[in-house]
Amino acid sequence: MHLLDDAELISTYSSQRSDEAFTTLVERYVSLVYSSALRQVRDPHLADEVTQGVFSILARKAGSLGKDTVLPGWLCRTARFTACNALKAERRRQQREQEAHMESLLQITEPDAWPQIAPLLDEAVAQLGEADRNAVILRFYQQKPLEEVGLALGVNADAAQKRVTRGLEKLRKIFSKRGVTLTAAVIAGAVAANSVQAAPAGLAATVAAAAVKGTSISVTLTTLVKGTMKTMTWLKFKFAVGLGVAALLAGGAATVAISQTSGDDKLTALEIAQQSKDAYAALASYSDTGTVVAESPAGNANTTFTTRLQRPDLYRVNWTQTSGSTTQSIGRVWSAGDGFFMQMSVGGREVYPTPVNQHTMQMSLGAAAGVSGSGSSTIPGAFFALTGADVLGLAVKGASKASKIIKLTKEIDAKIGDVDCHAFTSAMDPSKFPGGGKLPNGMGTIGKTTTTLWIGKKDHLIHQVRHTIDMSSIKMPPMSDETIKTTLENLKQPVTAAAIAAWRTKMETTMKTAQGSNCVFTQTHENIVVNQEFSPADFAR
């Protein structure tokens, strides 16, 4: 019996509306489409809906498909588009649910809650950082929807909701220390219902006349205004002096200008890291251009790269690494929804002349980390929260769960380009790891690393990161002939006894030169654009 091919089945269905022909197509490719959908949405129920959507589209477009259409490829591409749309709809649904949940909090009140909260509220809110304080005031004092809170704070609704929740939890803890034990939901409801009372009739006109039109005011009010302004000036001066002392203690004289500051300057390193981690988690897409300057005893190298990322798993990172006038490495890693690919050349030799599927995002981005100057790992690691590659995740984990291994230190704020940034240092001492930081199979030890991050005060994104590696803390075992042979083969260089011996001598000399010194990698990110709409074609080779 002759089995109809895809083109014949599509033609039969288009011309005769044959249910049998279409059922055959579905049975033939339903597993392909479902598997593709499941990888992208990671939810069986949602994958079912995506699969149904793909075949519904096929039913509608069957008549327009050309005879040369490769149906499996067309189905996978359509599954990609449908999955992206499904995830967008799912995010919108989750936002609506979050909004409904937050609205329900506003309705939860207890008669005795407000009298307990009222005497403590303003002092407690004043203790919050500026971002959390503004979020709480906008959400509960003015009862703004999350979209408007996010718009005022320069973030999306998801990030605004997280900030509101964090601020509310901090208030709960502050009240608890003062002997008032209430749930966050009760606090939210009480504050929303009672925090803003109607002002007396006519007060607005009186205030405007006194403040703007120069109408005479009482001696008492004059004293109050002057006293408050003096307090504000003193607080600014006090902060400036403290900043100057910190700068001098850091080892250099500094000219400090008195400038207005905010509660954000009181954030701890852990809070800055968590804010940044939350900011990346709330993004739908990200793109930038960047540079890496590598300084080591063996010589310096510069890397330029471009980054493009989109959820759930689309990315593309291109890089070019040079040393002096010599190009060391050119390459790219990407995922357009059909695999995790890498292609590059090292020293002018094609290591991967054709794209190689690395099978997982972690493997693909990790394989390119060294040759891209970590351009393929830092921001993608934070955006996708990749295990072992997310410098923010390590900072948060290190401070909260492994403080003996990773130490966080708040540094003096600085500008990166035109961006005002918080700064903190994350210092890792692998000797305190279980096993003393030794790598498996006698491959040596991990070096002590200090990472300094500069995080934008407004966008909470990484604008610069510097890794300093203490080379004296690294112990490398002698390289085996097999390891060197594999390296030479990957570089497409001759594999001879003389070449192996020369490579070993080169590596030993490099390590001896490096001992007692540091290697420093400074990575800077510019032209950052977030939440831009991309299609899978924007990530393809």
Phi-psi region of 260 (alpha: psi -120 to 50; beta: other; left: phi over 0): beta
Statement: residue 4 has pLDDT above 70 = yes
Convert the pLDDT of each residue in 327-380 to its tens digit.
677 888 888 888 888 888 776 666 666 677 766 787 778 777 777 778 888 899
| The predicted structure's pLDDT at residue 463 | 94
The CATH architecture to which 6-98 belongs is Orthogonal Bundle (1.10)
Please give the share of the chain, as a percent, with pLDDT higher than 70. 69
Separation CA 55–CA 372 (nearest Å): 41
Statement: residue 497 has pLDDT above 70 = yes
Within 10 A of 176 (CB to CB), how many other CB atoms are there? 11
Mean per-residue pLDDT over the chain, rounded: 74
Phi-psi region of 444 (alpha: psi -120 to 50; beta: other; left: phi over 0): left
Longest distance between any two alpha carbons in the chain, whole Å: 105
| The predicted structure's pLDDT at residue 195 | 67
Mean pLDDT to the nearest integer, 290-303 = 78
Statement: residue 234 has pLDDT above 50 = no
Convert the pLDDT of each residue in 63-115 to its tens digit.
888 777 788 888 888 888 888 888 877 777 766 666 666 555 555 555 577 78
Angle at 479 (CA atoms; ends 473, 480), nearest 5 degrees: 150
Convert the pLDDT of each residue in 131-178 to its tens digit.
888 888 888 887 788 888 888 888 888 888 888 888 888 888 888 888
Banded model confidence at residue 55, pLDDT cuts 50, 70, 90:
confident
Winning range, highest mean pLDDT, from 257-266, 383-392, 521-530:
521-530
| The predicted structure's pLDDT at residue 455 | 93
Name the β-bridge partners of 305. 290, 319
Banded model confidence at residue 50, pLDDT cuts 50, 70, 90:
confident
Listed range (8-22, 185-199, 461-475, 505-519) with the worst mean pLDDT: 505-519
Separation CA 66–CA 303 (nearest Å): 45
| The predicted structure's pLDDT at residue 308 | 93
The CATH class that applies to domain 108-194 reads mainly alpha
Banded model confidence at residue 42, pLDDT cuts 50, 70, 90:
confident
Q: Where are the alpha helices (DSSP H) in 213-354?
A: 219-249, 269-281
| The predicted structure's pLDDT at residue 111 | 53
Statement: residue 219 has pLDDT above 60 = no
Listed range (299-308, 404-413, 418-427, 471-480) with the worst mean pLDDT: 471-480
Mean pLDDT to the nearest integer, 422-442 = 64
| The predicted structure's pLDDT at residue 211 | 43
The CATH class that applies to domain 269-477+516-539 reads mainly beta
DSSP state of 341: E
Mean pLDDT to the nearest integer, 378-394 = 81
Separation CA 391–CA 426 (nearest Å): 9
| The predicted structure's pLDDT at residue 528 | 93
Q: What does the domain layout of the chain look like in residue ranges? A: 6-98, 108-194, 215-261, 269-477+516-539
Q: Which amino acid is at 444?
A: G
Banded model confidence at residue 230, pLDDT cuts 50, 70, 90:
very low
Q: Which two tokens stand for residue 393?
A: 């995740």
Mean pLDDT to the nearest integer, 434-457 = 66
Q: What is the pTM of this model?
A: 0.47
| The predicted structure's pLDDT at residue 228 | 46
Do residues 334 and 316 make contact, with C-beta atoms less than 8 angstroms apart? Answer: yes
Higher pLDDT, 55 or 224: 55
Convert the pLDDT of each residue in 176-215 to its tens digit.
888 888 888 888 888 887 766 665 665 455 544 544 444 5
